[in-house]
Structure 1
Amino acid sequence: MKLVFAGAPDAGAASTGTQTSASGAMMQMLIMLLIFFAMMYFLVILPQRRREKEFKQMIESLKKGDTIITTGGVVGRIVDIKKDVVKIKSANSTELEIHKAYIAKVIKEKEETKEETDSKD
Structure 2
Amino acid sequence: MALLAEGADALDVQGCKIFEVVRICGDDGSLEAVQLVFSDDRSLTLTVWTDWSLTVELRSDIAVPEYLWLPEERVRIVIPELSDLSFEVGEVVPRHNDAAELFEVRFVLGGRQLLVGSTGGNLIIEIE
TM-score, length-normalised on structure 2?
A: 0.27
Greater strand content: 2
Greater helix content: 1
TM-score, length-normalised on structure 1?
A: 0.28
- Structure with more contact order per residue of length (Cα contacts < 8 Å, sep ≥ 6): 2
